[in-house]
Homo-oligomer: A and B are copies of this chain.
Amino acid sequence: MTTPDSLPRRRLLRAGALAGAGVGIGAGAGALGARALDERAAPEPEEVLHGQGVIPFHGPHQAGIETPAPAHATFLGLDLREETDRDGVLRLLRVLTADAARLTGGHAPLADTEPELAAVPARLTVTAGFGPGLLARAGRETPPWLAPLPAFPIDALDPAYCDGDLMLQVAADDPLALAHAVRMLLKGARSSMRLRWLQQGFRRAHGAVPSGTTMRNLFGQVDGTANPRPGTEPFARTVWIEDGPFAGGTSMVIRRIRMDVDGWDELDRSGREESLGRRLADGSPLTGTAEHDEPDFSATSAHGFPVIGEFTHVRRARGVDAADGGQSIFRRSYNYDLAPDPAAGGISESGQVFVSFQADPLAQFVPIQQRLAELDLMNEWTTPIGSAVFAIPPGAAQGEFLGQSVLE
């Protein structure tokens, strides 16, 4: 079935493909990594393993934002213990940075008693964000936009999923690698912080569909088409803060949105497409034929009605009818699907951990959300139940800790 000389070439091609997607093969992966790499050549040479994929931790921006979203993510909201002072905050961030750098590289942190679980990083990233409480404790000014979002009439917020002093976004293509990394990070943080909330989510498994495929949510919708493409100028303009202590950083809006999948199920396909303004099959706008076609909001039917209705999600999100339109955000959301409460009688407890990155949440996220909250047919089946905003510091260079430029 195989010729020996064809295999190294194939493996090389694959390594090239990974590198092209911003993934290096853990060059300095040490003893454990080297053993795992050896195994790739061993009994089943047809296998192409992605568990050794490493996303560089250090750099001008934090990983986990421009990085193609891996299959699994856990978001942690933490609060500083009352006794943690400014020095304690800095100490905590040094520990978290060291642990995150090791874990994302496929190395066990020093205090890791299950180092075997760290040997398969599977594109692990750890991204930290600060709430106002952390900046205050460290004696630093809070950016004007770093505050809870204005209340929206559609919100039914549960404080158990809101706010926090520190946010950690931990993501990987392997759920075991992710579980272990989350535990190690919580272990490193627990003496100075308390867990406030933890949210888990998923997308398609690595390698299940072509990379770059826009995700689908649990309503079956193609979700995220309007995103600026990572690596482009519009992405940089949308996401990165240019000046001030957070230059090279960004802001994260994280909202837990319950989706009434059981109710949505009662709607037929044309009703769904008319609520959304896009086709379910391929995400194309009702005025186009392909996912990335620009919606034509001026197109009308033979009867003179707009093809993409006034109250569709896609029109309200774009805001093209309003003078204040044209805002851009970068969404990087995850689905959640939990055990429903049998006593409640439903068959789903589903939704989305909505995540967006933008340089300024007040100028970019809030106007979009206000338009959607005012009027969007999708509000019938979606309810925001959690909400928080975090300031994402820039990336750390080798030897720096996350947030050093902000806090020191």
- Is B47 a contact partner of A200 (Cβ separation < 8 A)? no
Q: A208: which of B16, B174, B267 is its contact (CB, 8 Å)?
A: B174
Q: A342: which of B180, B197, B203 is its contact (CB, 8 Å)?
A: B197
Among A54-62, A149-157, A216-224, A360-368, which stretch is in contact with chain B? A216-224
Q: A261: which of B1, B50, B183, B205 is its contact (CB, 8 Å)?
A: B183
Whether A51 is near chain B, meaning CB under 8 Å from some CB there, is yes
- Is B175 a contact partner of A205 (Cβ separation < 8 A)? yes
Q: Mark A36-57, 1 if CB is under 8 A from B, else 0.
A: 1001101110111111000000
Q: A207: which of B198, B207, B265 is its contact (CB, 8 Å)?
A: B207
* CB-defined contacts of A318 to chain B, threshold 8 Å: none
* CB-defined contacts of A281 to chain B, threshold 8 Å: 116
Give Cα distance in the complex from A10 to B216, angstroms.
Answer: 29
- Is A347 a contact partner of B187 (Cβ separation < 8 A)? yes
- Is B46 a contact partner of A339 (Cβ separation < 8 A)? no
Give Cα distance in the complex from A272 to B114, angstroms.
Answer: 10
- Is A120 a contact partner of B209 (Cβ separation < 8 A)? yes
Among A188-196, A295-303, A309-317, which stretch is in contact with chain B? A188-196
Q: A39: which of B206, B210, B337 is its contact (CB, 8 Å)?
A: B210
* CB-defined contacts of A174 to chain B, threshold 8 Å: 204-205, 208
Whether A387 is near chain B, meaning CB under 8 Å from some CB there, is no
Copies in the assembly, this chain: 2
* CB-defined contacts of A48 to chain B, threshold 8 Å: 48, 207
Q: A210: which of B49, B116, B200 is its contact (CB, 8 Å)?
A: B49
Whether A227 is near chain B, meaning CB under 8 Å from some CB there, is no
Give Cα distance in the complex from A48 to B42, angstroms.
Answer: 19
Give Cα distance in the complex from A195 to B347, angstroms.
Answer: 7
- Is B114 a contact partner of A342 (Cβ separation < 8 A)? no
**For this complex, into which size category does the number of interface residues on chain A fall?**
35 or more
Task: Knowing A207-B47, A209-B49, say if A194 contacts B342 (CB, 8 Å).
Answer: yes
- Is B36 a contact partner of A195 (Cβ separation < 8 A)? no
- Is B113 a contact partner of A220 (Cβ separation < 8 A)? yes
- Is B44 a contact partner of A17 (Cβ separation < 8 A)? yes
Whether A401 is near chain B, meaning CB under 8 Å from some CB there, is no
Nearest chain B CB to A208 CB, angstrom units: 3
Give Cα distance in the complex from A198 to B350, angstroms.
Answer: 14
- Is A347 a contact partner of B205 (Cβ separation < 8 A)? no
- Is A176 a contact partner of B202 (Cβ separation < 8 A)? yes
Give Cα distance in the complex from A265 to B199, angstroms.
Answer: 23
Give Cα distance in the complex from A50 to B218, angstroms.
Answer: 21
Q: Which residue on B lies nearest to A344, using beta carbons?
A: B195
* CB-defined contacts of A398 to chain B, threshold 8 Å: none
Whether A211 is near chain B, meaning CB under 8 Å from some CB there, is yes
Whether A212 is near chain B, meaning CB under 8 Å from some CB there, is yes
- Is A43 a contact partner of B212 (Cβ separation < 8 A)? yes
Q: Mark A336-369, 1 if CB is under 8 A from B, else 0.
A: 0111101001011010000000000000000000
Can you name 23 A-B residue pairings with CB atoms under 8 Å? A43-B212, A44-B211, A47-B210, A49-B207, A49-B209, A50-B205, A51-B204, A71-B175, A113-B265, A113-B269, A113-B272, A117-B220, A120-B204, A175-B335, A175-B337, A177-B208, A179-B202, A180-B218, A194-B342, A196-B342, A198-B339, A200-B338, A207-B207
- Apart from A16-B46, A183-B261: 18 A-B pairs, beta carbons within 8 A: A2-B13, A14-B46, A17-B44, A48-B48, A51-B209, A116-B280, A120-B204, A160-B342, A174-B204, A175-B205, A176-B202, A179-B218, A179-B337, A183-B347, A194-B345, A195-B340, A197-B339, A205-B206
Nearest first, the 7 A-B pairs at minimum CB distance are A114-B220, A51-B208, A17-B46, A198-B339, A175-B202, A186-B347, A179-B337
